[in-house]
């Protein structure tokens, strides 16, 4: 098991780093496609990505410590094995199995060659299960077998070329038995997948739920928050770009971010008939009490409700940097002011987090405070 620990830990690390970057884009894509965040679809896609990363790392890792791998290999070392089912004879020879004596068959379980062959069979078996979920129908078994063969061939060529020239000699063998076992495993997984997939929602179930939500024009609370995240990310990215071009400080950051939030949360929806940029991405719009475009006063109230908690955070951060000389009256005043600001900030965000959890758990039975304060509601944008 130690040989698999390093590849799997590396796969976990790479997967989580990628998830940190791609989760928001994935959520945006999911909401645009289905109208809600399908937990099952997310589990399938994320687990599929992790599986592919883990499979690749299991094949390639651990990597040699030096690029010149030829120096550790004897002259005439064979890097290619093109004899089909060679592993069968290898297992029989090394285990001492006698085909006419069934009592000797158990010796196979003690041979590493047997377990290596079994590993290669199971390596792409999950791929077949995923392909059955995506392709759905059994008639596509040839396509599943071809995909399994293609992925296995990619693995073998990557090994044979020393990861395409990174290493000057292959550090693992190109084995035709691996192609056979990998491809067969993928096909087996494809054929037996219905037994496993019957326990979970199908893609048809997800699409049916999407159609029901589309008819109700219901906007899930998480998609409402996601629209705000997209709007904030746009302003933050613009600030980062600004900082790369022009000198930037605390004051300029405050002014830039404040102006950016005002434009994105107030000016854009006022000119865009109740749609911020994030809302356009997620196909959402704000509506007033009469179902029409909200008034500028309502949009301003909503902007202020979102802006003020951010302002409290910035103010608390600014006070942390204010340090008068120790022992002066100004020092005691600054200390108490800083503590008060931090406590106030913590209370504000605690209340907001609890409020958001209540709305999310209630699945939209209550509106978020910023919409309720402005007297607006969020609807699906059908235009």
Q: Any bridge partners for residue 287, and if so which?
A: 377
* Contact call for residues 61 and 53 (beta carbons, < 8 A): no
| Whether the bond into 127 is cis, omega within 30 of 0 | no
Q: Any bridge partners for residue 379, and if so which?
A: 285
How would you classify residue 138: left for phi > 0, otherwise alpha for psi between -120 and 50, otherwise beta?
alpha
* Contact call for residues 27 and 226 (beta carbons, < 8 A): yes
Residues 6+ apart with CB under 8 A from 306: 228, 261, 265, 370
The pTM of this model reads 0.73
Closest CA to 330 of 338, 95, 218, 383: 338
| Tally of CB atoms within 10 A around 166 | 12
Residue indicated by tokens 């039975």: 365
The per-residue pLDDT string of the chain (383 residues; one tens digit each, 9 = 90 and over) reads 556 788 888 999 999 999 888 888 888 888 877 777 777 888 888 999 999 999 999 888 888 888 887 877 777 777 788 888 888 777 777 766 666 666 666 766 777 778 888 888 999 999 999 999 888 888 889 999 999 999 999 999 998 888 888 888 888 888 898 999 999 999 999 999 888 887 777 777 776 766 666 666 678 888 888 899 999 999 999 998 888 887 777 788 888 999 999 999 999 999 988 899 999 988 888 988 787 889 999 999 999 999 988 888 877 776 665 565 555 566 666 666 777 777 777 888 888 889 888 888 887 678 888 998 888 888 887 65
- What does the block give as tokens for 7? 């590849």
pLDDT of residue 24: 83
- 149 CA to centre of own chain: 27
- 188 CA to centre of own chain: 28
Distance CA 154, CA 152 (A): 5
> 112 vs 94, 116, 175, 176, 287, CA distance in Å?
9, 6, 16, 18, 67
pLDDT of residue 301: 93
For every residue of the chain, which 3-state class applies, written as one string?
A: CHHHHHHHHHHHHHHHHHHHHHHHHHHHHHHHHHCCCCHHHHHHHHHHHHHHHHHHHHHHCCCCCCCCHHHHCCCCCCCEECCCCHHHHHHHHHHCCCCCCHHHHHHHHHCHHHHHHHHHHHHCHHHHHHHHHHHCCHHHHHHHHHHHHHHHHHHHHHHHCHHHHCCCCCCCCEEHHHHHHHHHHHHHHHHHHHHHHCCCCCHHHHHHHHHHHHHHCCCCHHHHHHHHHHHHHHHHHHHHHHHHHCCCCHHHHHHHHHHHHHHHHHHHHHHCCCCCHHHHHHCEEEECCCCCCCCHHHHHHHHHHHHHHHHHHHHHHHHHCCCCCCCCHHHHHHHHHHHHHHHHHHHHHHHHHHHHHHHHHCCCCCCCHHHHHHCCEEEECCC
> 301 vs 96, 260, 265, CA distance in Å?
82, 16, 10
Looking from the CA of 104 toward its CB, the CA atoms found within 13 Å total 11
């Amino acid at each position: 098991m130690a040989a698999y620990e390093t590849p799997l830990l590396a796969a976990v690390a790479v997967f989580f780093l990628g998830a940190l970057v791609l989760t928001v884009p994935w959520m945006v894509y999911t909401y645009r496609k289905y109208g809600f965040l399908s937990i099952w679809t997310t589990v399938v896609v994320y687990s599929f990505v992790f599986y592919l990363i883990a499979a690749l790392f299991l094949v390639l890792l651990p990597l040699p410590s030096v690029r010149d791998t030829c120096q550790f290999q004897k002259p005439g070392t064979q890097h290619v094995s093109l004899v089909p089912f060679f592993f069968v004879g290898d297992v029989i020879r090394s285990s001492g199995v006698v085909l006419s004596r069934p009592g000797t068959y158990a010796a196979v379980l003690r041979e590493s060659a047997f377990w290596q062959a079994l590993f290669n069979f199971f390596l792409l078996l999950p791929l077949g299960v995923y392909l059955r979920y995506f392709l759905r129908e059994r008639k596509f078994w040839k396509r599943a077998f071809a995909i399994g063969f293609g992925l296995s061939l990619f693995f073998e060529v990557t090994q044979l070329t020393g990861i395409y020239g990174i290493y000057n000699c292959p550090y693992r063998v190109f084995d035709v038995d691996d192609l056979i076992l990998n491809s067969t495993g993928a096909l087996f997984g494809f054929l037996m997948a219905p037994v496993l997939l019957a326990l979970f929602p199908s893609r048809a179930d997800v699409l049916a739920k999407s159609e029901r939500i589309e008819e109700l024009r219901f906007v899930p609370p998480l998609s409402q928050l996601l629209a705000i995240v997209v709007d904030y990310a746009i302003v933050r990215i613009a600030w980062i770009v600004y900082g790369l071009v022009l000198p930037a400080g605390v004051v300029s950051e405050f002014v830039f971010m404040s102006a950016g939030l005002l434009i994105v949360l107030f000016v854009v929806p006022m000119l865009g008939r109740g749609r911020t940029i994030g809302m356009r991405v997620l196909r959402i719009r704000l509506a007033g009490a009469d179902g029409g475009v909200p008034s500028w006063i309502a949009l301003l109230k909503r902007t202020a409700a979102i802006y003020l908690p951010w302002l409290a955070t910035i103010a608390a951060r600014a006070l942390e940097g204010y340090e008068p000389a120790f022992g002066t009256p100004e020092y005691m005043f600054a200390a108490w002011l800083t503590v008060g600001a931090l406590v106030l900030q913590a209370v504000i965000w605690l209340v907001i987090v609890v409020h958001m959890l209540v709305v999310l758990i209630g699945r939209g039975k209550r509106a978020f405070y910023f919409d309720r304060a402005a007297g607006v509601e969020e609807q699906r944008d059908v235009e």
